[in-house]
Amino acid sequence: SQQGEEDPQALSIQEGENATMNCSYKTSINNLQWYRQNSGRGLVHLILIRSNEREKHSGRLRVTLDTSKKSSSLLITASRAADTASYFCATAPGGGNKLTFGTGTQLKVEL
Amino acid sequence: DGGITQSPKYLFRKEGQNVTLSCEQNLNHDAMYWYRQDPGQGLRLIYYSQIVNDFQKGDIAEGYSVSREKKESFPLTVTSAQKNPTAFYLCASSIRGDTQYFGPGTRLTVL
């Protein structure tokens, strides 16, 4: 079963707008990661947030983590057409090496 | 250039045939992973290896086999026992199990 579930499944916005996607998970974690996948390609790591962190920034990305609600959000500010991709959250239940991925949010940024 | 490579990019197989997908990395990572991705879905772990000459089953290992004779290489064999092998296969590697670095993927189609 999927540990992480992203919401929404699909999101369509205009260039320049902000995009927010959410991830919920079920068991305790050491960290939560966000990855991006362009159509037909491998995944690219975006950002990792540890369980003792509440917020982390990287360029136009902002990630929050609420361990009490077992949820995380990824915010992409000032979106660009090149941000069009699928975004996945991933966790390692119990802090092991195995990552469990959610089903992803498909983001489309239109000109 | 450091990185992780997969070959071939596209692979076609007749029913009843075994095929082997290649994954090579020169990142000096100890851990390597194989995932399967079906259309519109997240990634599901097939096998992973934390060290040379050792590997463990993931969530959907049936019909697949792997070997880890060298640190750089983690080939995946899709056997005829895999009932629905058509999918996108992704290989990844990591140092300590945190951030995973992905290859470009192999798309396998069974004819």
Classify strands A19-24 and A61-66 as parallel, antiparallel or unpaired: unpaired
Ramachandran angles phi, psi of A35, nearest 5°: -125, 155
Q: Which residues pair with B49 in a beta bridge?
A: B32
Residue B18 CA: distances (Å) to CA of A57, B46, B70, B81:
45, 16, 22, 9
- State residue A92's pLDDT score: 84
Decide if pLDDT at B72 tops 90: yes
Nearest-5° Cα angle at B22, B18 to B27: 155
A83-87, A100-104, B19-23, B27-31: least confident range: A100-104
Whole-angstrom distance, CA of residue B106 vs CA of residue B83: 18
Option in B35, B41, B94 nearest A103 (CB): B41
pLDDT classification of B51: cutoffs 50, 70, 90: very high
**CA distance from start to end of chain A:** 37
Write phi, then psi, for A84 (nearest 5 degrees): -60, 120
Residue A3: predicted pLDDT: 54
Q: What pLDDT score was predicted for residue A83?
A: 98
- SS3 category, A20: strand
- Average pLDDT of the residues in B39-47: 91
pLDDT at B47 over 50: yes
User: Quick check: B42 pLDDT over 90?
Assistant: no
Contact with chain A for residue B107, Cβ under 8 A: yes
DSSP-H helix ranges across chain A: none
What pLDDT is attached to residue A14? Answer: 97
Contact A71, A91 (CB under 8 A): no
Percent of chain B, pLDDT > 70?
A: 97
Q: Measure CA A18 to chain center.
A: 14
- Give the pLDDT score at B39: 87
Please indicate whether, in this complex, the C-beta atoms of B43 and A103 are within 8 angstroms of each other. no
Q: What is the pLDDT of residue A95?
A: 65
Summarize the confidence of residues B99-107 as an average pLDDT: 95
Instruction: Give the pLDDT confidence score for residue A2 in this predicted structure.
Output: 40
Those residues whose C-beta lies under 8 Å from the C-beta of residue A44, and which sit 6 or more positions away, are: A35, A36, A37, A38, B102
Structure tokens belonging to residue A50: 């540890």
pLDDT band, residue B2 (cuts 50/70/90): low
| Four-CA torsion A62, A104, A34, A29, nearest 10 degrees | 110
Per-residue pLDDT, averaged over B52-63, amounts to 95
Residues in chain A, pLDDT under 70: 1-4, 94-95
Query: Average of pLDDT values for B57-75?
Result: 97
Is the omega angle on the peptide bond into residue A93 within 30 degrees of 0, that is, cis? no
Residue B26 has pLDDT above 70, yes or no: yes
State whether B50 and A97 contact (CB < 8 Å): yes
Interface mutation vs chain B, best among A49, A98, A100, A105, most B CBs within 10 Å: A98
- Computed over every residue of chain B, the mean pLDDT equals 93
Q: Residue B46: which of B55, B30, B38, B57 has the closest Cα? A: B57
